[in-house]
Structure 1
Amino acid sequence: MSGQEKQARPKIPRRALDGVLLLDKPLGLSSNDALIKAKRLYLAKKAGHTGTLDPLATGLLPLCFGEATKFSQDLLEADKTYEATMRLGIRTTTGDAEGEAIDTRDVTCDEAAVEAAMTRFIGDIVQVPPMYSALKRDGKPLYEYARAGQTVEREGRPVTIHALKMIACALPLVTFRVTCSKGTYVRTLAEDIGEALGCGAHLTALRRTGVGALTLEHAVTLDALSTADEAERDSWLQPVDALLSTFPAVRLNDEATKRFLHGQRLRLADVVETRLEDGRVRVYAQDDGRLLGVARAGEGVLAPERLIVTAS
């Protein structure tokens, strides 16, 4: 194709969409590739995801479009829930099935011993990040050092395991459900459980089922998106405030709405009738119920943090 023909090709117009898509990411696809495919299907102008899932992981990947991208950080900070399967007796270079086996040991424990070992990891623990991770040292991701055969020292990081429960056991395979804080590496958790049992372990499957208050219940696949028409695809978009459902709601009258959208701080006593705990809140217009943005309540003041541009 000539340069003139390339220049003559019309550009496909992009849509200004605002909302959240709960995507069920497939196996073998990176989070960024999944985002690109969904963005292309929606012809969206602006989109972003809310936390990376490894290519070997499946499950819930919330994608944000338009104004929703302003609040994606809130999901990065949220707790996550996973269902995972680990294989006892084999350690790998990556901590999952993608790596090469580096240590093989007999599995002599029983189901009760596995359950007992898992209970030791509930609560606040310290994890050493894996070498095969995107964390950076001197500006370079750790996985680049690992691929070059180098190991660098990593400091342990505090994480919280809120819940950890075995849901199936057919040794040497164990499937469990875990709810954990941000920054938790489930493959490292599997490795550590394996070491506690004296046989080692690696992760063979990982599926994310929850991010904050969002679940897989209303998630859709890329295959479904690709065969749907525009109206059906749009019907799968959640409203922007789906990302903010855990925040208390505040509703403002017309005058307070105008001031809020100009970034002005408001006296809580003037806009909230009941007592409000200090912290972040979602703010709506009282007249039509539209989302105005997010604010922080404290010291008797409602201070705007992020505003919805289309609300003005």
Structure 2
Amino acid sequence: MSSSPKRKRVPVHGVLLLDKPAGLSSNDALIKAKRLLNAEKAGHTGTLDPFATGLLPLCFGEATKFAQDLLDADKTYETVVHLGVTTTTGDTEGEVIETRNVDVDRERIAEVLSRFVGNIEQVPPMHSALKRDGKPLYEYARAGITLEREARAVTIHELQLLDWQTPYLKLRVCCSKGTYIRVLGEDIGAALGCGAHLQALRRIQVGNLTIDTAMTLDGLAEKSEQERTTTLAPVDALLTSFPSVQLPEALAKRFLHGQRLALGKENVAYPEGGGRVRVYRQQDNALLGTGLMQTWGVLAPERLIATAGI
């Protein structure tokens, strides 16, 4: 009995704003979405813990070239911190280590939260994907091994108390890349003198992308194969924080060939001050890629879109 032929993957380009469900790893969510879209190439923009939900931007095709930009972007979360109970993982997936009485009020909570706004240091948790000698820390943790970890600098831009119903703190956190919300919850609990772990965690924003238009895996599966690709945001949805440059046809060709362009001499408008820019072909507004704008008006190609055509 012959097996049915394997489906041929097709080129798919764009960004799926996925609302990841609890209980699924980011990689498993990516595999499911890639299968539903029958896509050749895909990647995600930073993991969410399996117990966490919310915005997981998935990149397909040419969009994978810009995934790093979202890895580096600020993130916003809403989280429920369960005071008085510490666990081995800092969240609901671990075993309870200790239970304490919770005797705090809003004034005390506000005072403690203020300590965690701004530049702070965090010790990465053992239950994390950070690697030591090629092996993720969580593998050591599962084997009962605890390794020394150096504290890392992160920035908490905003830490807002949304609700307080003993023993649950609901917080909104806007933070820099590399911030562990589980560690933040544990540290807040320690500062309050009662310990804590995360009861729930939901990511609502990554860079300029928000959860508002995100799609669930079930919602994607319910659509026809033709409709699924229409749920993707364009590749440049990852680049909206960059100023843009429009190039006429002749300069667009040179840019796609990797040539540096003196835009000042070519009478092409460019943002002052230098920095990274997104670059478009003027005639059809097609994204050509990203470039580095020098303060003296020279545009250096950075990452180019292969599908733009030369």
TM-score range, shorter chain: over 0.9
1:224 aligns with 2:214: no
1:286 aligns with 2:277: no
Q: Which amino acid aligns with 2:153?
A: P
Q: What is the CA–CA distance in structure 2 between the aligned matches of 1:306 and 1:187, rounded to whole Å?
A: 34
Q: CA deviation at 1:142?
A: 1.2
Q: What is the CA–CA distance in structure 1 between the aligned matches of 2:126 and 2:7, rounded to whole Å?
A: 42
Q: What is the CA–CA distance in structure 2 between the aligned matches of 1:67 and 1:127, rounded to whole Å?
A: 34
Q: What is the CA–CA distance in structure 2 between the aligned matches of 1:45 and 1:275, rounded to whole Å?
A: 36
The question of whether the paired residues in 2 share the 8 Å contact of 1:67 and 1:309 is answered with yes
Which deviations, in whole Å up to 9, do the C-alpha atoms of 1:258-282 show, x marking residues without a partner?
1000000011312533552211000
Gapped regions of structure 2 (runs ≥ 5): none
Q: How does 1:62-211 map to 2 (within 5 A)?
A: 62-211=57-206
Structure 2 length-normalised TM? 0.97
Aligned length: 307
The question of whether the paired residues in 1 share the 8 Å contact of 2:273 and 2:295 is answered with no
| Aligned equivalent of 1:307, options 287, 304, 308 | 304
* Structure 1 pair 137–23 and aligned structure 2 pair: CA distance change class (3 A): same
Q: What is the CA–CA distance in structure 1 between the aligned matches of 2:165 and 2:57, rounded to whole Å?
A: 32
Q: What is the CA–CA distance in structure 2 between the aligned matches of 1:150 and 1:45, rounded to whole Å?
A: 39
* Structure 1 pair 291–274 and aligned structure 2 pair: CA distance change class (3 A): closer
Q: Give the structure 1 partner of residue 235 of structure 2.
A: 240
Q: Give the structure 2 partner of residue 297 of structure 1.
A: 293
Q: What is the CA–CA distance in structure 2 between the aligned matches of 1:267 and 1:285, rounded to whole Å?
A: 16
The question of whether the paired residues in 2 share the 8 Å contact of 1:293 and 1:306 is answered with yes
Which deviations, in whole Å up to 9, do the C-alpha atoms of 1:24-79 show, x marking residues without a partner?
00110111111111111111111111110111000000011110010001000000
Q: What is the CA–CA distance in structure 1 between the aligned matches of 2:109 and 2:225, rounded to whole Å?
A: 48
The question of whether the paired residues in 2 share the 8 Å contact of 1:256 and 1:271 is answered with no
Q: What is the CA–CA distance in structure 2 between the aligned matches of 1:277 and 1:240, rounded to whole Å?
A: 25
Identity %: 63
The question of whether the paired residues in 1 share the 8 Å contact of 2:117 and 2:159 is answered with yes
Q: What is the CA–CA distance in structure 2 between the aligned matches of 1:237 and 1:58, rounded to whole Å?
A: 20
Q: Which amino acid aligns with 1:285?
A: R
Q: CA deviation at 1:311?
A: 0.5
Q: Which moved more, 1:236-245 or 1:110-119?
A: 110-119
Gapped regions of structure 1 (runs ≥ 5): none
The question of whether the paired residues in 2 share the 8 Å contact of 1:48 and 1:63 is answered with yes
Q: CA deviation at 1:254?
A: 1.1
* Structure 1 pair 15–85 and aligned structure 2 pair: CA distance change class (3 A): same
Q: Secondary structure at the match of 1:132?
A: coil
Q: Which amino acid aligns with 1:178?
A: V
The question of whether the paired residues in 1 share the 8 Å contact of 2:263 and 2:270 is answered with no
The question of whether the paired residues in 2 share the 8 Å contact of 1:161 and 1:180 is answered with yes
Q: Which amino acid aligns with 2:138?
A: Y
Q: Which amino acid aligns with 2:302?
A: E
